Amino acid sequence: MRVVVLGGDGFCGWPSALHLSASGHDVTIVDNFVRRRADDELGVQSLTPIRPLAERIEAWQAASGREIAVVELDVAHDYDAMTELLITVRPDAVVHFAEQRSAPYSMKSPPHKRYTIDNNLNATHNLLAAVVQAGIDIHVVHLGTMGVYGYETVPVDLPEGYLTVSYPDRHGEMHSREILYPTQPGSVYHLSKSLDQLLFQFYAHNDGVRVTDLHQGIVWGTQTDETERDPRLINRFDYDGDYGTVLNRFIVEAAIGYPLTVHGTGGQTRAFINIRDTVRCIRLAVESGFQVGGQVRVMNQMTETHRVADLAQLVARTIGAEVDRVANPRQEADENQLAARNDRLLGLGLAPITLDSGLLATEVGIARAYSGRIDASRIPCRSFWNESRRSAVEEQSA
Ligand code: NAD
Ligand code: USQ
């Protein structure tokens, strides 16, 4: 299949592009490199030394004999160029990773909030409008988030995207309807993903655009079978207070003897998936595109759930580390339970890798190998959800 990967230079996009290419698909990567510029803005660098995209592509050709095309454009603003690209490439599928994906970054300041909404909504809407304008039957595969469901503790397994509700009409007769699961976003970033869902619903209904929305959990790990094939293919690994996600941060912290930064009680339960499963899920979603039509297909792309405090204990036990409870910079529930269905991806053949697979030790090895690149001053989270969270953190560190 011909596949365009928007955001193909990023943490999930790069290994997914390689996996699609290794599986025989013709891949075109689109990126505007804004993520690399965000590192400069924040004064941080990936734990792993990521090579410029042109060099990555050359290394992949040498390692696999396969070519990947690259187009530099801003999906949120270069609308005409993107439409032209779709008309020229005529892809069977477009995988859309090209969004600002950090919750703390999205909450740093009004400009960061506005950038996140502008970038994410315009990117998604431009893609959908361009697919319609190009007049090609393209399957859109979007990376959404488990966070759209929110973290209320109700004893249900979260369904895959939809909820069936019944309500009485004015005559007292009951009606039943499937609605998008009510969203409860916990950051401006998560809000942008909640709003994306409405864009998909509209274009699926109005124009028959075929869409799969993957509600992905927190990704952990770095390398995949493909990125391991040459050091120049190494994947990004964020550990800083803005872009680092919780388990990857704990791995880096443990590797350099920095006390694990548990926010608050650590009673937050979240959904997780290993990067090796991410790339497989993307391939499964793309290759099963013929099944999609009518209602947007939502698949929960996660393999397990864990409490943050339990993850910290696991890392402390496996690697040896102290656990620090830091004041939580985020406005979020201290405790929640979470269970979710992932039948659709399991049904397509996903065989999940779980945390007990031994990969944790491999990841710590990577963190230790590159520990010279770690700047410990960039570990604390300095993005506050509101003033009372800021005061709580400042009081604790005073
Ligand atoms: P990332 O920031 O590493 O990658 C995103 C890529 O998109 C970057 O290379 C960036 O330069 C590019 N990009 C952003 N805006 C663009 C634009 N307007 N035009 C062109 N390129 C643009 O993020 P990631 O971790 O790879 O996440 C990819 C997607 O997966 C995001 O949509 C994110 O919300 C979702 N997701 C990520 C995680 C995770 O834990 N990393 C979990 C769930 C969902
Ligand atoms: N947390 C800590 N200590 C840390 C960092 C985070 O306790 O050092 C806590 C946070 O307070 C939060 C939880 O860990 O309760 C998860 O935080 P995170 O930064 O790992 O994940 P999150 O902000 O939710 O965002 C990440 C990705 C995002 C994706 C989302 C999936 O950056 O792109 O959409 O995971 S999900 O969480 O399922 O919505």
To 10 degrees, the CA torsion angle through 79, 84, 85, 90? Answer: 130
Residue 301 pLDDT > 90: yes
CA angle 291, 159, 304 (to 5 degrees): 100
Mean pLDDT score, 267-275 = 97
Atom of ligand 1 nearest to the CA of 36: 11
Give the distance from CA 138 to its chain's centroid.
22
Ligand 1 centroid – CA 363 distance (Å): 21
Domain count, the chain: 1
**Could you tell me the two tokens for 10?**
């990023």
Whether 253 lines ligand 1, by a CB cut-off of 6 Å, is: no
Judged against a pLDDT cut of 90, whether residue 96 lies above it is answered with: yes
Q: Which of 352, 279, 292 is nearest to 23 (CA)?
A: 279
How many Cβ atoms are within 10 Å of 395's Cβ, its own excluded?
9
Structure tokens at 316: 């402390």
How many whole angstroms separate alpha carbon 316 and alpha carbon 260?
8
Res 152: pLDDT? 82
Q: Which are the contacts of 275, defined by CB distance < 8 A and separation ≥ 6?
A: 11, 12, 15, 219, 220, 221, 222, 223, 224, 235
- Ligand 2 midpoint to CA 84 (Å): 36
Atom 26 of ligand 2, nearest CA residue: 218
The pLDDT of residue 397 is 85
Q: Which bound ligand lies closest to the C-alpha atom of 36?
A: 1
Element at 300 (helix H, strand E): strand 297-301
User: Quick check: 211 and 204 in contact, CB under 8 A?
Assistant: yes
Residue 204 CA, ligand 2 centroid: distance in Å: 30
Residue 369's CB: how many other CB atoms inside 10 A?
A: 12
Write the pLDDT tens digit of every residue in 158-172.
Answer: 999 999 999 999 999
| CB 35 near ligand 1, within 6 Å | yes
Q: Is any ligand 1 atom within 6 A of the Cβ of residue 50?
A: no
Nearest CA to ligand 2 atom 33: 101
Tell me the mean pLDDT in the region 202-222: 98
In angstroms, the first-to-last Cα distance of the chain is 57
DSSP states along 56-91:
HHHHHHHHHS--EEEEE--TTT-HHHHHHHHHHH--
Question: Residue with the nearest Cα to atom 43 of ligand 1?
Answer: 216
Give the atom of ligand 2 at the shortest distance from the alpha carbon of 330: 11
* Distance (Å) from CA 7 to ligand 1 centroid: 6
Q: Which two tokens stand for residue 22?
A: 């290794």
Question: Which strand (E) or helix (H) includes residue 311?
Answer: helix 308-319
Yes or no: say if 66 and 21 are a contact pair by the CB < 8 Å rule: yes
Active centre residues (catalytic): 145, 189, 193
Q: How far apart are the C-alpha atoms of 141 and 194, rounded to whole Å?
A: 16
Render the burial of 2-27: b for 16+ CB within 10 Å, e for the rest.
ebbbbbbbbbbbbbbbbbbbbbebbb
CA separation, residue 303 to residues 147, 216, 223, 299 (Å): 15, 9, 18, 12
Going from the Cα of 294 to the center of ligand 1, the distance in angstroms, rounded, reads 26
Q: Give the mean pLDDT of the chain.
A: 97
- 262 Cα nearest atom in ligand 2: 7
* 83 Cβ inside 6 Å of ligand 1: no
pLDDT bin (cut points 50, 70, 90) of residue 174 is very high
Is the C-beta atom of 279 inside 6 A of ligand 1?
no
Q: Quick check: CB of 308 below 6 Å from ligand 2?
A: yes
Tokens of 371: 């520990």
Write down the pLDDT at residue 57.
Answer: 98
Cα of 246 vs centre of ligand 2, distance in Å, is 6
pLDDT in tens, 104-131: 999 999 999 999 999 999 999 999 999 9
Q: Looking at residue 398, what is its pLDDT?
A: 83
Ligand 1 close to Cβ of residue 248 (< 6 A):
no
- Domain containing residue 136: 2-397
- List the CATH number of the domain containing 244: 3.40.50.720
**3-class secondary-structure state, position 268:** coil
Closest ligand 1 atom, residue 147 Cα: 43
Does the Cβ of 262 fall within 6 Å of ligand 2? yes
Predicted local confidence at residue 225, as pLDDT: 98
For ligand 1, whether the C-beta of 9 sits within 6 Å is: yes
